[in-house]
Structure 1
Amino acid sequence: MKRFLTACFLFLGLFGHAHAETDPALVRQVNAFVDEWHEDAANARMAYFDKMAKEGVYIGTDRSELWKRDEFKAWARKYFERKSAWSFKATRRNVYASADASIIWFDELLDTPNMGPCMASGVIRKTRKGFEILHYQLSMAVPNEVNGQVKKLIDESAKKATP
């Protein structure tokens, strides 16, 4: 039990330290990296996938959208054959880092022309070569007051999909 409590205090201490003191220079670097990643998609540049770790995971808005990087790349290829794959513009982003800045996590609000307001979170690893995205999860920002209507639409869609 003593070890468990010690581990909990260490974790909370690291999280509190990381949350309170994220280096402003690191935040600028991360913002530039993630903004460029979004710009790669907006301009259908395949460099988008190079910014993801080989074992990186992308979770989209549909419940079926859970991919490792190479699966995601294969699925998205048809979108990257156009002038623009998709367009996400961050309107707010919070960046946090481990004490040694090797692991960075962020959350962001996004303006998207096709889906409206979205939210996302991600985890980035800092390597000698630069940053790489380990995990990214996108979700639509549904206002609480319309959640019941959205749930009803989801339920109706699920019924149509079930034989």
Structure 2
Amino acid sequence: MELQHKQFHNHEVEYWIRSAREEDAKRLSEIRLKIDGETENLDREQGEDYIDEKAFKQLIKEDAQRGNNLFLVSEVNGEIVGYSRCEGKVLKRSAHKAEFGLAILKAFWGLGIGGNLLRETVHWADEAGIKKVTLNVMETNDKAINLYKKFGFVIEGILKKDKQLSDGEFYNTVMMARFHGE
């Protein structure tokens, strides 16, 4: 599915959300690497599970062809500053589900970009007939957990001592889901 440009304003900043295009691949590779170094809220450390421009192009192309995938980007002044992706399952018994994730450059946190990426994804999932959207979030990421709850996500479970962060301590991962029609 393709999302046309949608404009948003917050704190004197104008930004756009739209579907990812193949020409975004280089920038997506760059900002994913940068974001991984800015936060420990994600699964990876900077440089781990690197996705290069070619791989991002392929991912964008495949997502555009699959009706149960959605890849969105957010732009400020024509520059991509964040993205979200919802990947549907291909196995028949799981075809009603999709997994959501998002990442935003730290300089653009607090502008509502994450909420609007999530809002567009939830709307798309409902329209696409996806019955369950899942995500994982670090237990320490209270802002994200509260945002997800505002959009109808509930906690399904906890993965205990799931991630070891730079302080050497182990942290839990919260598994959340949103069920269409509930």
Q: TM > 0.5 between the two?
A: no
TM-score, L = length of structure 2: 0.31
More helix by share: 1
TM-score, L = length of structure 1: 0.33
Higher relative contact order (CA 8 A, sep 6+): 1
